Amino acid sequence: MYARVNATQWDPDKAEEGIRLTEEVIIPAYQKHPGFRGYWLLTEPGGDEAMAITMWDSRENMDSSAGIAKAMVGELKGVLRAPPDTRHYEVMFSVQPEAR
């Protein structure tokens, strides 16, 4: 599995708009792309830092989704204070709680 991590800063006054766009536009766009395995948005409580993590079944599908990521930055214009710092990772472990 592979992960793209986009770390950035949000305008705190526009956080609600960013969350709405994430739910209504960004996540559905990723869900339609082949190999999509998950999306996490981490935000700093009361702060302006945010990190979006997308998970992919292969490097190829992660790479081919880069156009979506770039388009989403455009969707968030005015919400983001700076362009995201984008990094790519190979996921070595993904651990879920054991069923009880």
What is residue 31's predicted lDDT score, i.e. its pLDDT?
96
39-85 confidence digits (pLDDT tens)? 999 988 877 899 999 999 999 999 999 888 778 777 788 888 888 89
Q: For the chain, what is the mean pLDDT?
A: 90
CA–CA separation, 74 and 69 (whole Å): 9
Say yes or no to pLDDT of 38 above 80: yes
Burial of 97 (0-12, 13-18, 19+ CB in 10 A): exposed
H helix runs in 4-98, sequence order: 15-21, 27-31, 59-64, 66-75
What is residue 16's predicted lDDT score, i.e. its pLDDT?
85
What is residue 93's predicted lDDT score, i.e. its pLDDT?
92
For the chain, strand residue ranges (E) read 2-9, 36-43, 49-56, 85-90
Number of other CB atoms surrounding residue 12 within 10 Å: 13
CA–CA separation, 70 and 54 (whole Å): 13
Query: Regarding predicted confidence, which is higher, 32 or 15?
Result: 32
Query: Regarding predicted confidence, which is higher, 53 or 18?
Result: 53
What is residue 45's predicted lDDT score, i.e. its pLDDT?
84
